[in-house]
Structure 1
Amino acid sequence: MTEPRVVLRLDEAVDLGHAWMQALADVRGIRVLFIKGPALHRHGLRDERVSADVDLLVEPVRFAEFCQAVLEVGWTTRPGNFISHRTTLHSETFLREGWPCDLDVHGFFPGFLAPPADVFDALWARRVRMEFAHVECDVPDRVGGALILALHSLRGASIQARHADELEQLTRVVLTEDERIQVADLALATGCAATLASVLPRLGVPVEAPVAELASRGLREWRERVDSGSHGAYFWMLALRRAPWWEKPAVLWRAFWPSGAELRVAHPEIDGTLRSAMRARWARWVHGVTSAPKAMHAIFSNRRRR
């Protein structure tokens, strides 16, 4: 007789995912912090909603080791493509059959311009414990969570209403005087005073970014990502800029004509027919052409700001 299949609800899977990965990290002696997700509404930083995945930040020096440990307990790497391998350098995404949410493992978090190890240590020093599925898990405190939410929401606010709404919710949060001082100190320690220059004053935290941060390449690329909406043609322009000269023709060709496997990753609705593949390619070309002007403006306007 076949055993009945147990179907997890998304909220159950998220809680269990926290507990599972904390246990895995503890066994290996690896420091991890669960970022975004349910901790944010428990801190009172955004409205409650069910997360679509489990996000965690791993101490950078052991990032590869933790990813290998995740694979060893039955998770698999989500298929990437030509462009993601060249532009998504901060995280790996894992999935598991029958599990309704992904696992996003971060080695660093975009928008923090200080060295990743320094950022992790600064957040780790302020960590608090929260219970998920009866397991105590390490998460950033309210101050650290506010900075992470601000960076995450700002990056996609220009094209996603949810991110814009969450950023607006955050700016309405009432911080105590002590919390405002701590936000300023942590922003300076983690290198996000410049990347959050448009947000921190709205939190009642006026802080002057260091000159080195203002002049950094990291800040220029961050501003490009925010201004471009962090989608579409921008990532191909970024990949083209980063590629050595001998790889640039390949980048241009793959931007125009991705392989069938890559096309199916981006368009899982393709049914295997030539007609559906061409519809997907046409949609891709239209999206690329329409997003290109905004991406180009973001790149060239921020180059002039250097």
Structure 2
Amino acid sequence: MSSIPLTLAEAVPLGTVLLQRLLDDAGIRSLVIKGPAFVELGVRKPKHSNDIDLLIHPDDRERVAGLLEASRWQSISHWFPPALDDVIYSVTYAHPSFPASVDVHHYYSGVFARADAFESMWAQRVSVDLAHAQVVTMPSAHALIFEALNKFKAAGVGQWDATARAVVDAAQWRDLEQVRRAAEELGATESAGALIAALGGPRATHTSPKFRRWAKEAGRFRSRIYFWRIVTRSPQSVPRVMWQQINLPEKHARWWAEAHGIRYRSRRQVLWLRLRGLATRRDAQTR
């Protein structure tokens, strides 16, 4: 009797439950982010999710990697030198028998408190129902900020106000004072400034170097940012990174195409698109 394969719509919530329990059984704390959990929190409209997203404490990265690899989850992220640890904020894993991949975030783009931010969210964690089971996630105020930051990093600064209004309009939950407190806890008062303004709050004064650098890179092709960081911070790593890109495994190439909404044809197609991206200032989302 043959088994019926899971659809992505089934695999994402089910895999979320299974992976969080796997980590929890090993004593590793995790928060479910984005996807159906944020729908349950009322900070985004229901939509199709292609992958699973978990947030862990930065200090647990190696433990999580070892645990997942022991459970046949293989990293499909590219190797980057340690000099890029401040910009490489997640690792993607795939399982040969499971249709959904998982992004394990050790911090979140635009959240500058990092370890302290995780502790704050963990202390205020809530549970939502996924796949007829309870999973642990962050409070709605933090989730709304994460939802906005995720969209800000893909858009140029000039689009942030409109993007923030769209995030607020799509949310069923919105509370200015709770979002302002959450932004302070996350070290995201500046990066979430457009969201706070869209909720009717005061516009933040942007002064910190971290924020200015983050805002400058918003909307740019991420691979291009990574490449130039390697050139400036770890030039001896360039040959290894370039060789890896040229010899991109087919499963990685296919995953990259699917993640960018591109119909996959070949490894050569993906390599060309990635190289072309390095030569452009901004990706198609900001043109």
Once residues 188 and 58 of structure 1 are traced to their aligned partners in structure 2, the CA distance between those partners, rounded to angstroms, is 20
Matched residue count: 271
Tell me how far apart the structure 2 counterparts of residues 265 and 224 of structure 1 sit (CA, whole Å). Answer: 32
Of residues 135, 139, 142, the one that matches 1:141 is: 139
In the superposition, relative to structure 1, how do residues 148 and 252 fare at CA in structure 2: closer, same or farther (>3 Å)? same
Q: Does 1:260 align with 2:246?
A: yes
Name 2:228's counterpart in structure 1: 237
Query: Which residue in the other structure is 1:89 paired with?
Result: 88
Cα deviation per residue 1:285-304 (whole Å; 9 max; x = unaligned)? 44333x13x59xxxxxxxxx
Higher mean C-alpha deviation, range 258-267 or range 135-144: 258-267
1:214 equivalent in alignment to 2:214: no
- Unpaired runs of 5+ in structure 1? 296-306
RMSD: 3.4
Q: Quote the Cα distance in structure 2 between the aligned partners of 1:265 and 1:221.
A: 33
Contact 2:110 2:149 in 1 (8 A): yes
Within 5 A, what are the aligned runs for 1:178-197? Answer: 179-197=175-193
Distance 1:117 1:231, change over 3 A: closer
Q: Which amino acid aligns with 2:246?
A: G
Matched with 1:14 is: 12
Structure 2 Cα separation of the partners of residues 207 and 68 of structure 1: 43
Please list every run of 5 or more consecutive structure 2 residues that lacks an aligned counterpart in the other structure. Answer: 255-263
CA contact (8 A) 1:118 1:190 kept: yes
**Partners of 1:35 and 1:128 in 2: how far apart?**
12
**Equivalent position of 2:259 in the other structure:** none
Would you say 1:63 and 2:69 are equivalent positions?
Answer: no
Q: Quote the offset at 1:89 in angstroms.
A: 2.4
Deviation at 1:102, TM superposition (A): 0.6
State the 1:198 CA deviation.
Answer: 2.5
Distance 1:74 1:263 in 2: 18
1:64-112: CA deviation from partner (whole Å, max 9, x where unpaired): 2122111212211115256899475221111011311111111111101
TM-score by length of 1: 0.75
1: CA distance, partners of 2:265 / 2:81: 20
One-letter amino acid of the counterpart of residue 288, structure 1? L
> Are 1:287 and 2:277 matched, yes or no?
yes
**Residue 304 (structure 1) aligns with:** none
Could you tell me the percent identity over the aligned residues?
23
Find the aligned partners of 2:22 and 2:225 in 1 and give their Cα distance: 36
